[in-house]
Structure 1
Amino acid sequence: MPLRTRQRECPDADLQGMKVIYFLSNLWSWIQENATVFSGLTSVGMLVIWGVYLQLLLHNFRMQRRPQIIINHGYGRGIDSRCIVSNMSQSAVFVDSIIVKLETSDGQYVTDVTDTVDKQGEGGNEVDAKELRQVTRQGPLGSGEYMNAGTFRTLLQKVASEHGISVDESCRPTGEAGFSNVEIRLIMIFGAETSPIGASRRFNMKYDDDKKLSLVPETIGTQQLGKRRQRLKVRRWQRDLRMPLNSAGGNER
């Protein structure tokens, strides 16, 4: 009985083997007949792979060349919170000017707050290089570094003093004018570029029932001004520094 069973299975096995050989033979013939199509598909596939690879390289290159500056408040949200400037770019930036624009019910006022000394201290005794950060906010900012630009109280008081606005201890105007928002502007040089770039962020000023001031960012992120059209706006900021506004801004944007 086992011998007969084995003899019965051998023809079936041979038949299955012949079917496999016949299928592979037809498959090979079909591949040879359509070799041109397969060659074209292979070329298209390689082209797609190289296209994706080059796109990734281009994206990485653009990320390295794109400035990313963050302006935020730290250590609270009140008037004594710090204005923090962080450089999240791949390259260093040189902070040329820090400008504060204060909007009130009577108009808008722009002041350069780059230097932290008053007019009597400017041009005085020579300052040691280690102490430069104590008298000016100008200077290089490496990748991943941040800078404390001072408290918002200090910045607002300088704007108010520059334009003859009287404020109380909580930085509320003593006159009829009311503060609405404050905008921090930066003029910088990015990497080896010669044309200045900019960054800005606006904070709305809210007073609670206890007359305490809180600063609420108007946008989630910082506006980056690095494109060609945006750099024209930065140049207007530079012109405004040479011709400061004394009252309502007119063409100020």
Structure 2
Amino acid sequence: MRFGNSRKMDARQHIFQGKEVIYFFSNLWDWIQENATVFSGLTSVGMLLIWGVYLQLLLHNFRMQRRPQIIINHGYGRGIDSRCIVSNMSQSAVFIDSIIVKLETSDGQYVTDVTDTVDEEGESSKDVNVKELRQVTRQGPLGSGEYMNAGTFRTLLQKVASEHGIGLDESCRPTGEEGFSNVEIRLIMIFGAEKSPIGASRRFHMKYDENKKLSLIPETIGTQQLGKRRQRLKVRRWQRDLRMPFDADTGQNR
């Protein structure tokens, strides 16, 4: 008898709990219906936030595809015979128009266009095939993910020194009283379908050890990108500098 009574009590408890659950959900549904306008507004705000984040991601990806990313670095060592490597990490190809070397010394600054290479007799005058064009000039397109060997720093410094009448020894130390301090590699390029040129530059400190061995130390971790509107004005000044005589004593154009 006691066992039967306990079963009846359990059944009544289950029925009572079931009624409480039904009553709870009924009240919850009534509360949701009464506040349907609030829930609709919150849903609209949530969807607006989601679309805002989505549009920001699309805009970020679009800007990344339109943003040039050029890397200037030295490869195969850090000495005077290391290679100057130019890499295009942009999503689109770039056209390298000019490569400029700015040499900073104790007597002033010297700027030289090193876009075209030279042979032992000076500027090459013989006809060159299209496949061999890279052997006489560094000008040309550079695809996405591609890199270019702009020559050794020794070759670049020798061309600057030769153009400005600076004597160099075997270790690329100046034979005169002036001393070298920094060298800056500048690039003038056309990116994609844009009409105005963009630029990139990186500066290297020149340090000599006790054995007169030269080391090139980058001043910054990355390459400076000159793609914004104000920065492109600086690139245009670089182009003007190539057409005007440079005063090494003052570091200004005449």
Alignment of 1:210 onto 2:185: no
Q: What is the distance in 2 between the residues matched to 1:115 and 1:180? A: 25
Identify if the C-alpha distance between structure 1 residues 211 and 119 changes in structure 2 by more than 3 Å, giving closer, same or farther.
closer
Report the alpha carbon displacement of residue 251 of structure 1 after superposing the two structures with TM: 3.7
Q: Secondary structure at the match of 1:205?
A: strand
Give the gaps of 5 or more residues in structure 1: none
Report the alpha carbon displacement of residue 193 of structure 1 after superposing the two structures with TM: 0.7
Q: What is the distance in 2 between the residues matched to 1:249 and 1:202? A: 20
Q: What is the distance in 1 between the residues matched to 2:33 and 2:69? A: 55
CA deviation profile, 1:3-46 (whole Å, cap 9, x unmatched) = 22211111111110110011001100100110000000000000
**Mapping 1:87-98, distance limit 5 Å:** 87-98=88-99
Alignment of 1:147 onto 2:148: yes
Q: What is the distance in 1 between the residues matched to 2:119 and 2:111? A: 17
CA deviation profile, 1:51-105 (whole Å, cap 9, x unmatched) = 0000000000000000000000000000000000000000000000000000000
With structure 2 as the length reference, what TM-score do the two structures score? 0.96
* Residue equivalent to 2:111: 110
* Residue equivalent to 1:238: 239
Q: Secondary structure at the match of 2:169?
A: coil
Is the 1:111–1:244 Cα contact (8 Å) retained in structure 2? no
CA deviation profile, 1:178-234 (whole Å, cap 9, x unmatched) = 000000000000011110000000000000010000000000000000000000000
Q: What is the distance in 1 between the residues matched to 2:65 and 2:101? A: 29
* Residue equivalent to 1:37: 38
Report the alpha carbon displacement of residue 247 of structure 1 after superposing the two structures with TM: 1.4
Is the 2:109–2:251 Cα contact (8 Å) retained in structure 1? no
Q: Secondary structure at the match of 1:210?
A: coil
Q: What is the distance in 2 between the residues matched to 1:249 and 1:126? A: 40
Q: Aligned pairs, how many? A: 252
**Mapping 1:76-91, distance limit 5 Å:** 76-91=77-92
Report the alpha carbon displacement of residue 250 of structure 1 after superposing the two structures with TM: 3.7
* Residue equivalent to 1:229: 230
* Residue equivalent to 1:156: 157
Report the alpha carbon displacement of residue 134 of structure 1 after superposing the two structures with TM: 0.5
Report the alpha carbon displacement of residue 118 of structure 1 after superposing the two structures with TM: 5.3
Report % sequence identity. Answer: 83
Q: What is the distance in 2 between the residues matched to 1:176 and 1:245? A: 20
Is the 2:186–2:200 Cα contact (8 Å) retained in structure 1? yes
* 2:81 alignment partner AA: D
* 1:149 alignment partner AA: A
Q: Which moved more, 1:112-121 or 1:60-69?
A: 112-121
Q: Secondary structure at the match of 1:20?
A: helix
* Residue equivalent to 2:171: 170
Alignment of 1:72 onto 2:76: no
**Mapping 1:190-205, distance limit 5 Å:** 190-205=191-206
Is the 2:171–2:212 Cα contact (8 Å) retained in structure 1? yes
Q: What is the distance in 2 between the residues matched to 1:172 and 1:30? A: 86
With structure 1 as the length reference, what TM-score do the two structures score? 0.97
Identify if the C-alpha distance between structure 1 residues 105 and 121 changes in structure 2 by more than 3 Å, giving closer, same or farther.
closer
* Residue equivalent to 2:186: 185
Give the gaps of 5 or more residues in structure 2: none
Report the alpha carbon displacement of residue 123 of structure 1 after superposing the two structures with TM: 6.6
Report the alpha carbon displacement of residue 248 of structure 1 after superposing the two structures with TM: 3.1
* Residue equivalent to 2:25: 24
* Residue equivalent to 2:132: 131
Q: Which moved more, 1:90-99 or 1:9-18?
A: 9-18
Report the alpha carbon displacement of residue 246 of structure 1 after superposing the two structures with TM: 4.3
Is the 2:124–2:136 Cα contact (8 Å) retained in structure 1? no
- Computed over aligned residues only, the root mean square deviation of the Cα atoms, in angstroms, reads 1.3
Is the 2:118–2:124 Cα contact (8 Å) retained in structure 1? no
